[in-house]
Amino acid sequence: MTDKSKFNKYIISLHPIFQENALILSQRTGLELKSTFDPKENDLVIVFGGHDKSAELLYLQKQKDFKFGYIIIATEQMNSVVYDNKNYITLLKKNLVFPFSFEISKQLKLKYEIDSHSLYFFDFFNIEDTIDFNDRPIDFFFCGCKSDLRDKQIELLRKKMPDKNIEVDYDYSYATPLELMKKLTQVKYVLNIPFYENSSLETHRIHRALSASCKVLSLKPYLKYEEEGYDEFVIFVDNLDDFEFGDVKEFNEWNLLMEKVGNKVLNHNLATIQNL
């Protein structure tokens, strides 16, 4: 049996967009979040943003004359171009992999024969001191990379609701957690639109919005089962112009989401890491 105590586990983030995810995982697990990366023998490093530095991470493993490993947090959809990168696929095959959803874990196994353990992005800092919902000046808000699907859906919403304040940011203007959260406190409805067709439900965007007391208007996920548990907290539609204000019920708050979904997910994350 492997002596787990010999591993030195800690966390690094190689891209600022994942810094808060890394920080919260550090707080939940008690593992150190390091600002610099200098691997030592028997290190087991939980890596956010590994797809952005896959060649460098592989080079380090080849260069060192001692053994150390990575846990790669796979944050991208299966139809992302990151999976066209041979270095990234090699990195995943050589190390432990934690995708952000069960479905991506399954697809990695089927397509690349990569074994993985799902690690869910759930936890965000809850902001309780926010502007009252009805006083928020932005009716609808989307933030993310530009794609044809997103452009099409937002245009549908604009045509249906020309009198509403709809803001779209494709330029990563809110790259830090503090900047984004400050913006979200001004927003009534956050739009959840995948970059690609047939994508897994992007739960991290949903969780972030709910933690700022926004409501979430989302396209239905490709896989129906991914709605389960979220239909109490999210408005799901086939297209954004299907949305009607009169159909909106009072959705449950962040604390109830944490109670019903969050604790189970957090316990799963902790057990997955601690049992390595």
On whether residue 15 sits in a domain, the answer given is: yes
pLDDT of 70 reads: 94
What letters, b where the CB count within 10 A reaches 16 and e where it falls short, cover 88-125?
Answer: bbebbebbbbbbbbebbbebbeeeeebebbbbbbbbbe
On whether residue 166 sits in a domain, the answer given is: yes
**CA–CA gap between residue 166 and residue 170 (Å, rounded):** 13
Q: In terms of residue numbers, what domain contains 161? A: 133-258
**CA–CA gap between residue 100 and residue 123 (Å, rounded):** 12
**CA–CA gap between residue 113 and residue 229 (Å, rounded):** 29
On whether residue 197 sits in a domain, the answer given is: yes
> Which residue, of 69, 87, 119, is where some domain finishes?
119
Per-residue pLDDT of the chain (276 residues; tens, 9 = 90+): 345 457 899 999 998 878 888 888 888 788 999 988 889 999 999 999 999 999 999 999 999 888 899 999 888 888 889 999 999 999 999 998 988 777 888 889 999 999 877 655 555 666 767 788 889 999 999 998 899 999 999 999 999 999 999 999 998 787 677 788 889 999 999 999 998 888 888 888 888 888 888 999 999 988 888 888 788 889 999 999 999 988 777 766 767 777 766 666 666 666 666 666
Entry pTM: 0.75
CATH code where residue 199 lies: 3.40.50.2000
60 with 37, same domain: the answer is yes
Quote the number of domains for the chain: 2
On whether residue 128 sits in a domain, the answer given is: no
100 with 144, same domain: the answer is no
**CA–CA gap between residue 43 and residue 152 (Å, rounded):** 46
pLDDT of 267 reads: 66
| Residue 82 and residue 88 in contact, taking contact as beta carbons nearer than 8 Å | yes
98 with 28, same domain: the answer is yes
On whether residue 45 sits in a domain, the answer given is: yes
**CA–CA gap between residue 31 and residue 52 (Å, rounded):** 23
